[in-house]
A and B are shown apart, each in its own frame.
Chain A
């Protein structure tokens, strides 16, 4: 555990060196939060005041909380592993008495810890000032929510890990990474809540780990699911995490067997 903690701290510190980038990211998240909250509120108004259990305030809250989480769970980009495989730096990872997936997960969580406040607080603050936020008043949803966010970050990592592993077989990954971003953006509930999806799309989403990345933690934090239902949501996240991590390990082992690191 000391090792995992050290690697999380290093992940945190790596990102904390880039303050201007963090500030710019927080600004962007907030601006997009405003746009999304407006559209969400507009859609709920057009639907007659409530939509799948969201009234205007709940809808705006959803948009702002998603914006607060989007940086920590890292929906938009992670290609560190793919670059290391392509450049051959993976050789350095393999020359350590360390499981690469474990090490990268720790780094990813460290990054998330760093992003949590500086990238999360500004959209929530803006939301509280502009539209107001409908958040629970008891501590339990926040405690469960914290667990849910840690699981969400880890699930996100597990899916990125899997996609990055394609670098063992392919040189150019941009198309695949873009596909992953699009899939994750839509099916995680980044654009609109998964609860608004037509049945066929909701079914499709449920067959992927993506709702576990944003919809799940937001449902738990905002108290949309409570008690046993909330624990159920956490269980689904944990199951996806275990499954996708395991798949990632198997694929990594296959990739490492055919690994070619040329030159130097």
Chain B
């Protein structure tokens, strides 16, 4: 059996927070951002690492990459101790911090690729081929000569992803890569990432707030809350466990006070005089198509939208389920 590409045991990281208390005194409290995490990641896996803001996602990623020193516990990434072997590790992984840039701000995008090729000591004959592949697949050609500071957010993020993949890393870590992107840009990025995985077998670890990202890109989900792992499994399993519901919002042409019972749905709200109905459902019990058909038999539909369960909601439900101790949330 091959060694997991990421191995985390009882990982803990504390931060000291100082707050003014009185005129001169400062109160010192220790906050555990990551509190006893244990998990393995197999080579070639695609894992969504999700949790609310402040749950400890970014802290974990920084420990996985050797940027932050753990307070306790152990991490091995690509078989290396990340802090001691940070530079060796950096050759094998690609990281995108959604909020930060690794491109040279003042210079054309193409220059950043040249610099990164030198930094990773890529052979002079080999890297332009890889660059051209990335330029082609991420559609960067039109703005390669544009200084990074003049790129749009979507263009810059695509550039960042290309920069992280130029040295063909074994492990790609994306920290909220789709944050702030429009629907079309998100979609293109997802298609690209799925394709890279198929072509190169790159292991993917993704933190995100976007349920669609998780659904489209990953085959396993880790949910972290207050620094602890509260779920490890598949996404359908997660939805089933917390009963996370999607909501179909239907706008009708004529107001209808009561649509009556529709199989597999629960009426959440009826807005102004029956013009808008909100129906909650889980994909396990019915489909959006079946609901639409059922509604269509009773009233004329003008417009509809589907709201995905958001991650905060899923995590909150998971947390509540654990508190109530109903046995469904007893996985680590």
Contacts and interface: CB of A to CB of B under 8 A. Distances in A.
A94 B67 contact: yes
A14 B107 contact: yes
Interface stretch (A61-69, A143-151, A194-202, A254-262): A254-262
Interface residues of A, number: 27
A98 B107 contact: no
Contact of A264 (B104, B115, B175): B175
Interface string B97-121: 1111110101100010011001111
B68 A97 contact: no
Interface stretch (A84-92, A123-131, A134-142, A241-249): A84-92
Contact of B100 (A7, A14, A88, A259): A88
Given A89-B100, A92-B97, A261 B90 contact: no
A56 to B, nearest CB: 43
A173 interface: no
B110 to A, nearest CB: 11
B88 A97 contact: yes
A3 B118 contact: yes
A264 B106 CA distance: 22
A55 B252 CA distance: 95
B66 interface: yes
Interface in B76-92: 86-88, 90-91
Contacts of A228: none
B95 interface: yes
A10 B111 contact: yes
B97 A6 contact: no
B5 interface: no
Given A95-B102, A263-B99, A264-B100, A3 B119 contact: yes
Interface string B47-66: 00000000000100010011
Given A10-B104, A95-B65, A264 B176 contact: yes
Nearest to B99: A264
Given A14-B107, A97-B91, A264-B97, A259 B67 contact: yes
Nearest to A94: B67
A91 B107 contact: no
Interface string A7-18: 100100110011
A19 interface: no
B264 interface: no
A174 interface: no
B18 to A, nearest CB: 12
A110 to B, nearest CB: 11
Interface of B: 15, 58, 62, 65-69, 86-88, 90-91, 93, 95, 97-102, 104, 106-107, 111, 114-115, 118-121, 147, 175-176
10 contacts: A10-B107, A10-B111, A14-B107, A91-B97, A94-B66, A95-B90, A96-B119, A97-B121, A98-B87, A264-B100
Per CB-CB distance, the 6 closest pairs between chain A and chain B, nearest first, are A264-B99, A6-B118, A97-B90, A97-B87, A14-B106, A92-B102
Given A89-B101, A262-B58, 5 more contacts: A91-B67, A92-B102, A95-B93, A97-B91, A261-B67
